Amino acid sequence: MIMYSLRELSLEAKVAVGSGVVFFSMLISRTLISESVDMDTRAALYRAQFLLFINSVMLIASLYVWRRMTGNLCRVRRVSQRLLRCWKMLVLLFLVLSHSSYVTMFYLVAEEPHWVAMLSFTCLGSYIILLFFLFLFSCVEQCHRLVTRRAAVSDTSTADSGSRAKVALALALTLVLTALGLLNAARPPVVVRVEVPVDKLSPSFDNLKLVLLSDIHLGPTVGKSRLEMVVAMVNELQPDIVVIVGDLADSQVSRLKSVAEPLRRMGSRLGTFFVTGNHDYYTADVDSWLGYLRTLNVMPLHNANARISASEQSKEWFCLAGVDDLEARLFKYPGHGMDLTRALSGCDPDRAIILLAHQPLAAKRALQERPEISLVLSGHTHAGQIFPLSIMAYLVNPFFSGLYRVGNRSFVYVTPGTVYYGIPMRIGSTAQITEIILKTP
């Protein structure tokens, strides 16, 4: 009975069912997997499940793109069969490259980005934009028919001509936005100066310079030269403190050890600090990363805090705390998971508290639980990175990008990120190094 029902489903529906099966297998394996299983096995299982899931979901969209991009041309008599075959091969190559992007995320990581990784992730960015416009124009057409109470156009040639025009427009917009996105992402991050009044901050820390970095995403499309540029820009600012609020890497330490080496040259008078992001856990190598960062003079705040003093002799200090990313518990990392009580242990509520928390949702929860926190620094959203993903990023995050006042005395600052994730494009957002000047109220 079940097999007969499956045979009756369309190809898209079958793929959707398969995607659901893979997704629930991921949840079940996260629940049942023993903590005694070594991290290499966990990493291999995660990579296999992730690649299978993301490509099965993309396959549904790819079938839609394929039919929209090639269907109408088959009915055009003026198009030669050779030209039609070439176009189909081009569309197929584009889809294959888009699907292979996440394969390079796990298996094509080197000191500098490989051209195959750059090409495949560029295709993925274009794929997302093209899919959005194809779907949008289709929805607009259907809504127009409903509003005007018109049935489907009886003249097939006229309908096909209109459909081809919409596809051509979607393709043109995709090419333009792809080019603009590539140019924007290739530029160095902009330095943005923000003054933040910090409640209970001692006058001795007035005008303290804190440089905020996030979402560097060392991996298949972000290499050593990009990190060297970021470090050089940070050092020019002569910061008192540097903080990296998660998503430093997208692969294991063994593959990115030399890529992360420039962090050793990061200059900061009072120290450089790090908290984990969700992608740091996706590497399945987070403990190795925390250990390696310590050798680079970067101090992880693993549900911990540090007392920041202006000098060794000064009795004035504030608490700089950091929490693990929210998704650590989802992936069942032993000893990891957001623990605000532990992170703030020893912090004086009568002194300023600055919290590092990768996700804005963690910032919201932290302030709900401990409203005495003066300032929370987050990343994660990338300010959407590329349109139309910015729409979803805006809707699912309580804080999107920039400075937010929470209550009477607390602030949240969300950086749009220092580089980019995977897709070497930025549309409607800009990579940023944030120079935060702490001010006494």
Residue 348 has phi, psi (to 5 degrees) of: -90, 120
Let me know whether 408 and 332 are in one domain.
yes
Let me know whether 413 and 435 are in one domain.
yes
As a whole number of angstroms, the distance between CA 429 and CA 414 comes to: 13
Instruction: Tell me, yes or no, whether 369 lies in a domain.
Output: yes
DSSP conformational letter for 406: E
Instruction: Tell me, yes or no, whether 29 lies in a domain.
Output: yes
Most confident of 144-148, 280-284, 323-327: 323-327
Let me know whether 120 and 215 are in one domain.
no
Instruction: Tell me, yes or no, whether 2 lies in a domain.
Output: no
Provide the number of structural domains found in the chain.
Answer: 2
Give 28's pLDDT tier (boundaries 50, 70, 90).
low
Let me know whether 107 and 215 are in one domain.
no
As a whole number of angstroms, the distance between CA 158 and CA 143 comes to: 18
* Span of 54-68, 115-129, 155-169, 247-261 with lowest mean pLDDT: 155-169
Instruction: Tell me, yes or no, whether 371 lies in a domain.
Output: yes
Let me know whether 229 and 373 are in one domain.
yes
Give 75's pLDDT tier (boundaries 50, 70, 90).
low
Amino acid letter, residue 5: S
> Stretch 245-268: mean pLDDT, rounded?
93
Instruction: Tell me, yes or no, whether 225 lies in a domain.
Output: yes
As a whole number of angstroms, the distance between CA 79 and CA 71 comes to: 13
Mean pLDDT of the chain: 85
- Give the pLDDT score at 31: 52
**CA–CA distances in Å: residue 297 to residues 9, 45, 242:** 57, 32, 11
- Give the pLDDT score at 5: 42
Last residue of a domain, one of 170, 185, 200: 185
Predicted confidence (pLDDT) per residue in 286-311, tens digit: 999 999 999 999 999 999 999 998 76
Let me know whether 221 and 147 are in one domain.
no
- Give the pLDDT score at 375: 97
Last residue of a domain, one of 185, 209, 227: 185
- Give the pLDDT score at 153: 47
Let me know whether 386 and 410 are in one domain.
yes
Cβ-in-10-Å burial (0-12, 13-18, 19+) of 144 comes to exposed
As a whole number of angstroms, the distance between CA 210 and CA 195 comes to: 10
**CA–CA distances in Å: residue 315 to residues 197, 205, 207, 312:** 21, 12, 18, 8
Is the predicted pLDDT of residue 330 greater than 80, yes or no? no
pLDDT, greater one: 335 or 195: 195
- What does the buried/exposed string (b/e) look like for 327-341 if buried means 16 or more CB atoms within 10 Å of the residue's CB? bbeebbbeebbbbbe
- CATH classification of the domain holding 385: 3.60.21.10
Which residue range forms the structural domain that includes residue 433?
189-439
Is the predicted pLDDT of residue 71 greater than 70, yes or no? yes
Instruction: Tell me, yes or no, whether 4 lies in a domain.
Output: no
Written as six digits, the tokens of 133 are 């416009």
- Give the pLDDT score at 120: 96
Let me know whether 163 and 202 are in one domain.
no
Give the bridge partners for 320, in sequence order. Answer: 306, 354
> Stretch 181-210: mean pLDDT, rounded?
94
Instruction: Tell me, yes or no, whether 115 lies in a domain.
Output: yes
Sheet holding 272-275, edge to edge: 190-197, 432-439, 208-213, 241-245, 272-275, 298-300
Q: Cβ distance 358 to 245 under 8 Å? A: yes
Last residue of a domain, one of 146, 170, 185: 185
Instruction: Tell me, yes or no, whether 423 lies in a domain.
Output: yes
As a whole number of angstroms, the distance between CA 375 and CA 353 comes to: 7
Cβ-in-10-Å burial (0-12, 13-18, 19+) of 249 comes to buried
- Give the pLDDT score at 154: 47
As a whole number of angstroms, the distance between CA 418 and CA 244 comes to: 10
